[in-house]
Amino acid sequence: MTDSSSAPLRFFHDHFGLDDSIVESVLGTAIARPVDHADLFFEYSTQDSVALEEGIVKSGARHLEQGVGVRVQTGERQGYAHSDEVTVDAMQIAAGAAGAIAEGTGETRSVAVHGPSSPPLDLYPVATAPTDVPVARRVETLEALDAYARGRDPRIQQVMASVVSQHRHILIAASDGTFVADTQPLVRINVQVIADDGHGRREVGVQGGGGRVELETWLDPDAWQPLVDEATRIALLNLEAVPCPAGTMDLVLGPGWPGILLHEAIGHGLEGDFNRKGTSVFADRLGQCVASPGVTVVDDGTLPARRGSLNVDDEGTPTQRNVLIEDGILVGYMHDRLNARLMGMEPTGNGRRESYAHMPMPRMTNTFMLAGEDDPEEILRSVDNGLYAVSFGGGQVDITSGKFVFSASEAYRIEGGRIGAPVKGATLIGNGPDVLTRVSRIGNDLELDQGIGTCGKDGQGVPVGVGLPTLRIDGVTVGGTEG
């Protein structure tokens, strides 16, 4: 391993003394019993956060996580054990435990490690690890941000902001010969302002941005000032918002972050585990029409510097551009190695885990709908009476039924083809697959979000990206606070 020119691989040798013989020995213990597959996942991750509230930097933290996870598979059965001690003895104990849990009638009998390889992609080269940027530089940025936000409007009464950075080193070695490492930077800046109209009404505006880039990218005023401007605009706008009417109406989704609706209501239902088990509404529907003509949905982990992108997934599979729905036809699912093997398909680079203490599962990376040909302004003019939803807050989805409920954090009435008054309390209620068939216009203005998404599944959170062009969806049920 020391002969490799790959810095990520050298890192694990220098920190833990790992070499080919140790990896091969531990894998050998994992497959001492008849199994189908075994792998080791090493992690060394540092995360820093600095937060400001009430005009002062109130908290700062550094979190270090290191360990190894050992997974063994036989058929559908998986044994998993992990340790925060990366020693030969601890790894051998974990490998023996995982192998005993998964023992079955598999085929793997031996393993040979032939030396590490570097990822085939290089999506996030950074000269300085985000966690190496001095704390003083982060504090300076937050203090400048606070002063700038308070100076935007006298109605801004409170400012909360944070800078979070992570530098994650991973190494994956598997019984099929996979042996690859990656170093993954990740940064995010968050801004929240509270506006008060002086008569007892208070509203919130929230914005954020980030990605797998240099931290200095987001500490630059040219990057964070637009976030403050937008958070301020939303908070002040909501001070003037009127109650949202309830009923069935035509809906226009704005570009970018509203893609979270696509992620939750559609994307999870296209993950391989739900479809293998038959619990997704999209199970056994490959080749069938599941959406309106023109609807093409993609999950792409290869976009440079994006929050959801990865050189390799957490099983060592290179990420790729996966077309899931093409011109309304369901053409693919997202797979990790287990579900791909059990379904007779190929892994798609979507095996992801929160940390070494978790098993991987099929997860999204950057999920979005491709642009169409319609002018966004013409889409709005085509709606006589409806709702224009620009941004969303929380939501809930039932994977089995596809039913969802989402709350809009910024929305407007559409009256006579024009954007009308801002509204509060707008809630979208529907069924994911049904909504796809109600798409009638697709804008030519695809946008991706600014790098703020975190997806939760089975108690694990991973960074993701979403995107959408302006979209018209006919006959959507809207829950409101009026009528």
pLDDT given for residue 443 in this prediction: 98
pLDDT band at 9 (very low <50, low <70, confident <90, very high): confident
d(CA 398, CA 409): 21
**Tens of pLDDT, residues 180-198:** 999 999 999 999 999 999 9
pTM higher than 0.85: yes
> For residue 159, is it left (φ>0), alpha (ψ between -120 and 50) or beta?
beta
- Does residue 481 or residue 430 have the better pLDDT? 430
Backbone φ and ψ for 33, nearest 5 degrees, come out as -100, 165
Percent of the chain with pLDDT over 90: 86
Decide if 125 contacts 184 (C-beta within 8 A): no
List the chain domain ranges: 7-239, 247-479
DSSP letters spanning 273-323? HHHHTT-STTTT-TTSB-S-TT--EEEES-STT-TT--SB-TTSPBP-EEE
**Tens of pLDDT, residues 82-114:** 999 999 999 999 999 999 999 877 666 566 666
19 closest CA partner among 76, 91, 75: 91
How many C-alpha atoms does 436 have within 13 Å on its Cβ side?
A: 28
CA dihedral 380, 384, 385, 387 (to 10 degrees): -10
As beta bridge partners, residue 441 has: 472
Average pLDDT over residues 57-84: 96
**For 7-239, which CATH class?**
alpha beta
d(CA 379, CA 377): 5
**Tens of pLDDT, residues 297-315:** 999 999 999 999 999 999 9
pLDDT given for residue 2 in this prediction: 41
As beta bridge partners, residue 341 has: none
**Tens of pLDDT, residues 237-295:** 999 999 999 999 999 999 999 999 999 889 999 999 999 999 999 999 999 999 999 99
396 CB burial (10 A radius; 0-12, 13-18, 19+): exposed
